[in-house]
Structure 1
Amino acid sequence: MAKRSFTPLIALPGGYTAEGAPPPGDPSRTLIEHTYATLRDDIVEGRLPPGGKLRIEHLRTQYQVGAGTLREAVTRLVSDALVTVEGQRGFRVAPIALEELQDITSLRVHIEIDALRQSIRAGDAQWRTALAEAFTALSAEEQPIAPPRRRQWEALNVRFHEALLSGHASPWTLRVLRLLSRHSERYRFCAMGLPGSVRDVHIEHTEIYELAMAGQDARAALALEAHIRATPDLLIKALREGRAFLPGTVQLMRS
């Protein structure tokens, strides 16, 4: 694999803003953020394959950073559950599995739907303004979503979903959903490349946004649930039809 150079990545979970500026502070922390975001992107996009061993000595050459920086970045990925620890044997990229996607989806539906309804009921003018700004920014990136700008879209997608829930502040809900979102991104990346997909994510977001702004919490919740379930439904269908294969999974038999 070719050596990676560091460029600012659009990755909110890694500490970057939607505009792509690195976080301020200690330069050593900035390098760790760069390393974390780059490793994370390589896991999401499959350059570091599911189940693959992460050898610090090899990664030092590949990413051109010190062992200490790498270990701290990898440790953060362990906290994200994107990397697993093998006792004294080192680290591996977390496996990818259809069952995991279904579990993530069920948790998101259970938590995010209730949080949205509370947010709409409690949302004030400031919430409506923030949601409108997030929707406008996201809309500019997804008509349609350009594959080279997937990272930018992901950051704005996170911003929009968090803005939807921000009318009723719940820090722990946000923490849990951010963790689930980091895992969901691996599957969204697979779904974006499905041949013959006719899904219009912008229409889905528009419906959720308009219902939320209109205060229709029950209908907005139903629209959000359909939106959350769309990715696993599309992947399962593609797997059954032989149009897709998730690394590290057993292919489903065609039905």
Structure 2
Amino acid sequence: MKTTASAPAAARTLAKRAYQRLRRDIVHGQWPPGGKLKLEALVQHYEIGMSPLREALARLVGDQLVKTEDQRGFWVSPLSLEELDDISRVRNLIETEALRLSIERGDEAWEARVRETYDALNEVEGEVLGRGEAAPQELLDAWEDRNRQFHYALVSACDSPWLIKLQELLYHQAERYRRVSLSASRGKRFVQDEHQAIFEATLERNALRACRLTHDHLMRTYDEVRKTVAALDAGQKDAS
């Protein structure tokens, strides 16, 4: 028999799981930008109750991945060039500052995390980025997950919970846009070399070089993503 203490814990676990699954599906584009999230359909799709679903949606509103209006329901946040510009600018500020502090404060355990996540990323990156045809979705997902872990490891020793939280939030926001343009940009950059240069400068404790390389890496990604999003936006306007 469940105790009174275990019931709230189980509810929190369900809500957390629903939040993680919904966030992943929104970021991956399964629920399209601007689309309405119908609660009854979500309950059936994720096989969860209404209470954990609403809690998950409330967290996603806080992450700016979902929008809501009083008594009118929930929508996936739309994509826009203005938001992309803002996300990219702020993410660059946050990530380079967190990296600078991590290089200053990081210990041997931090170096080991950076090395481990870089090696894991490097395993799949060449295969994903070197393909002329579209890579299988599972391979793209593996690359995206390892890319996120590498960027997180780089800043994980900054000793600032707020910087870490903002870095994670901005990473997921940027990922929504990056996935839109991933197929268009693959193979046109030496992303693997960029990651290697950041990795080497970081372990050399050369904060100035590592931060500059990270800034340039993020800006190159932003430039490619913006071109693709702008082209898609123009195509949609022409079609209407």
Regarding TM over 0.5, the answer is: yes
Task: Give 2:45's aligned residue.
Answer: 62
- The answer to whether structure 1 residue 105 and structure 2 residue 95 are counterparts is no
Q: In the alignment, is the contact (CA less than 8 A) between 1:113 and 1:225 conserved in 2?
A: yes
Q: In the alignment, is the contact (CA less than 8 A) between 1:35 and 1:69 conserved in 2?
A: yes
2:183 to 190, 193, 214: 193
* RMSD (Å), alpha carbons: 2.5
Secondary structure at the aligned position of 1:88 is classed as: coil
Distance in 2 (CA, whole Å) between partners of 1:155 and 1:27 is: 27
Opposite residue 45 of structure 2, the aligned amino acid is Q
Task: Give 1:7's aligned residue.
Answer: none
Q: TM-score, normalised by structure 2?
A: 0.82
Q: In the alignment, is the contact (CA less than 8 A) between 1:207 and 1:223 conserved in 2?
A: yes
Task: Give 1:217's aligned residue.
Answer: 207
Q: In the alignment, is the contact (CA less than 8 A) between 1:96 and 1:249 conserved in 2?
A: no
Deviation of 1:237 after TM superposition, in Å, equals 2.9
Distance 1:206 1:55, change over 3 A: same
Distance in 1 (CA, whole Å) between partners of 2:55 and 2:235 is: 26
Q: Which moved more, 1:141-150 or 1:169-178?
A: 141-150
Distance in 2 (CA, whole Å) between partners of 1:130 and 1:234 is: 29
Distance in 2 (CA, whole Å) between partners of 1:57 and 1:176 is: 32
Q: TM-score, normalised by structure 1?
A: 0.78
- The answer to whether structure 1 residue 85 and structure 2 residue 68 are counterparts is yes
- The answer to whether structure 1 residue 173 and structure 2 residue 156 are counterparts is no
Secondary structure at the aligned position of 2:67 is classed as: strand
Aligned length: 224
Query: In the TM superposition, what are the counterparts of 1:228-243 in structure 2 within 5 Å?
Result: 228-239=218-229, 242=231
Task: Give 2:77's aligned residue.
Answer: 94
- Structure 2: 5+ residue runs without aligned partners? 1-7, 129-134
Distance in 1 (CA, whole Å) between partners of 2:201 and 2:237 is: 39
Deviation of 1:37 after TM superposition, in Å, equals 2.6
Distance in 2 (CA, whole Å) between partners of 1:197 and 1:86 is: 41
Q: In the alignment, is the contact (CA less than 8 A) between 1:98 and 1:249 conserved in 2?
A: no
- Structure 1: 5+ residue runs without aligned partners? 1-24
Task: Give 1:124's aligned residue.
Answer: 107
Deviation of 1:239 after TM superposition, in Å, equals 5.0
Q: In the alignment, is the contact (CA less than 8 A) between 2:81 and 2:229 conserved in 1?
A: no
Residues 139-175 of structure 1 show CA distances to partners (whole Å, capped at 9, x for unaligned) of: 2232223532333333322221122123331111101
Task: Give 1:136's aligned residue.
Answer: 119
Task: Give 2:131's aligned residue.
Answer: none
2:150 to 153, 160, 176: 160
Distance 1:140 1:73, change over 3 A: same
Deviation of 1:122 after TM superposition, in Å, equals 2.7
Question: Identity, % of aligned pairs?
Answer: 40
Opposite residue 183 of structure 1, the aligned amino acid is Q
Secondary structure at the aligned position of 2:75 is classed as: strand
